[in-house]
Structure 1
Amino acid sequence: MMDDNRIWEFEESLWTGDAEHYRALIDDECVMVLPETPFVMTGAQAIEAVADTPRWSKVAFSEQQVMRPQEGLITIAYKAEASRDGSSGYVAYCTTTMRRLSHEEWRVVQHQQTLSPVAGGA
């Protein structure tokens, strides 16, 4: 079973890791909803989008929830505050669902980001 610390390290690595790392952790059957066109994406489309986007330099999580609805399935929800060197912050509420393929091998099967209504504000 993946403990909470490992879950958050895994999730952080998806924000800050390179495209190859991202590709390795996203399941072929993943679906994502992101706040940019085309909004609804398959894992392959998301990987392509990430490959063309600079990675975040740092990300901080808060309001974290971890759910384990069944063995080998973990769903998390959180607020992410991310930034790139020299850029203003990105604030979104997110969910990620990951499934275990084998011992210690996990893949993301769902991810969603909703921009915070106060992003760039207060």
Structure 2
Amino acid sequence: MNDDRVWATELSLWRGDETVYRKRIDPMARMALPSPPFIFAGQQAVNAVQATPHWSNVAFEDGTISRPQYGLIVVAYTAHAQREADEAYVAHCTTTYRLNDAGEWQVIQHQQTPKTVVA
């Protein structure tokens, strides 16, 4: 997967619905998110998306991509996102994709650390 496709896939996960998640999230994936239960397994993440309002605006900053070995892509970035009536959300994120046996890239790890100001 080239860099442009990696970023397009990442954006589709932020803006997508459960259909996108069902296709892209590996059943063995683990996610650390800033809302209970905080640690999600694959199907839990898909289920959580069903009850969550979609992000209306999303932008990535300071993005990097590494490919530590064949079949793995690691992405790190700062996300700036907002839902319709909510305050802006800024988080430092990582996502790891794995090429599965069917030749599809799926998320096996994702984490979001909300940005906080350290004095």
* 1:57 match: 56
Distance in 1 between residues matched to 2:93 and 2:26, nearest whole Å:
18
Distance in 2 between residues matched to 1:45 and 1:21, nearest whole Å:
14
TM-score by length of 2: 0.93
Distance in 1 between residues matched to 2:27 and 2:13, nearest whole Å:
15
* 2:81 match: 82
Offset, 1:86: 2.8
SS in 1 for 2:7: helix
* 2:108 match: 109
The one-letter amino acid paired with 2:37 is P
Q: Superposition RMSD on alpha carbons, in Å?
A: 1.0
Offset, 1:69: 0.4
Deviations along 1:15-55, one digit per CA (max 9) or x if unpaired, are 00111111211001100000111111101111111111011
Offset, 1:87: 2.3
* 2:9 match: 10
Structure 1 segments, 4+ long, off by >4 Å, are none
The one-letter amino acid paired with 1:62 is E
Unaligned 5+ residue runs, structure 1? none
Unaligned 5+ residue runs, structure 2? none
Equivalent pairs, count: 116
